[in-house]
Amino acid sequence: MNELLGAYATGVPIPPLREHLLPVGDIDAAYAVQKEVTAHWLTQGRRLVGAKIGLTNKAVQSVFGVFQPDFGVLLADMAVNDGDVVDLGRLIQPRVEAEIAFVMGADLPYKEVTAVDVIRATEYLLPSIEIVDSRIINWDISIVDTVADNASSGLFVLGTQPVKLSDVDLRMCGMVLEHMGEPVSVGAGAACLGNPLNAVTWLASTMARMGTPLRAGDVVLSGALGPMVSVTPGARYEARISGLGSVRVGFSDRPAAGTGGTPG
C-alpha cells in the first residue's frame, strides 16, 4: 500500500507489484490492497461516488495480456467538468477512453444481480471520458497490478444531458473519440462485454458479494467502447456516442508527471 500511496504523492511510477509484493494471479490479495488504499483515502476526507469497470474491451485487454474485467472506486475529487482543461501534473502516464456512465437510482444489494435488476435501478445514462492512469512504470501491468492500483483509475469526465436507458440501444450505439477533431478511437457498445449492461450487471453482483454493493446515486463507468489513446500535452479530446451526445476534455501543455512509455 505504501508504495502505491508514494507514487500518488510523488508522481513517480513504481515497479510492478507482482514482482515483489503480490502473488502472481492472486486477485483477492490485489483487491485487499485496493480496499486498504481506499480506506486510507476516506480517512483523508475523500468521498466515494461510484465505481469503474476496467478491462471490458478486448482491444484494451490485449494490450496488457489481461482477459477478465476488474473494478475500482470513483471519488468525488476525480470528477472533471465537461470541457475543462486538466493539469497533466496531476497524472503520471494518462490515457483516455470513451465510456457510457450509468447513474443509479436504486440500491443493488443482491449477490446475483440480473440485467433486469440493473435496468430497473438505472436512473439515467451519460457519455463519459475516463482518464485512466497507472502508478506502475511503463504500464507494465498484470491483473493483480491494475486491481491493486484501483483498476488503473485517474480522473473522469461526464456529459451533462441525461438520457434514459430505454431510449438507447446500448449494444449498437457507436462511439468516436476525436483528438483535435481527428478520430483516434472508434467502437460501439458491443465492444464492452457484448453490451455495457452486461458489464454493470457483472459489477453489481461482484461488489455485492464483496460487501460493498452499488447504491442509489452511484456513478458507474461501464467500460471502454474502443481502444484507449495516449494523452498528448495541450490536446483536446471529444467523445461522441450515438444516442447519448458528446463530452470533452482538454489537457495542459506541460507533460505528465511520469516518464513511462506508451503501451503497444
Quote the pLDDT of residue 254: 84
Looking up cell 435501478 gives: 121
**pLDDT < 70 positions in the chain:** 59-60, 63-66, 258-264
Cα(34)–Cα(40) distance, rounded to whole angstroms?
Answer: 10
- SS3 of 173, please? coil
Q: What is the dihedral of CA 142, 145, 146, 152, to 10 degrees?
A: -130
Phi (first) and psi of residue 207, to 5 degrees: -70, -35
Gap between the Cα atoms of 76 and 254, Å rounded = 25
Return the closest-CA partner of residue 137 out of 125, 152, 127: 152
CB distance 147 to 73 below 8 Å: no
CB neighbourhood size of 166 (10 A): 7
**What angle (nearest 5°) sits at the alpha carbon of residue 244, between those of residues 100 and 92?**
40
CA distance 261 to 69: 23
Closest C-alpha among 102, 152, 159, 103 to residue 128: 159
- Contacts of residue 120, defined as CB under 8 A and 6 or more positions apart, other chains included, come to 106
Q: Which of 192, 187, 182, 190 is nearest to 223 (CA)?
A: 192
Structural domains of the chain in order of their starting residue, each with its CATH number: 2-251 (3.90.850.10)
Q: What integer pLDDT is reported at residue 261 of this predicted model?
A: 37
Residue 64: per-residue pLDDT = 66
Q: Check residue 60 and give its pLDDT.
A: 66
Three-point CA angle 139, 145, 148, nearest 5° = 125
CA distance 232 to 252: 9
User: How is 6-50 classified by DSSP, letter by letter?
Assistant: HHHHH---B--GGGTTS-TT-HHHHHHHHHHHHHHHHHTT--EEE
Q: What burial class does residue 204 get, using C-beta atoms within 10 Å of its C-beta: 0-12 exposed, 13-18 middle, 19+ buried?
A: buried
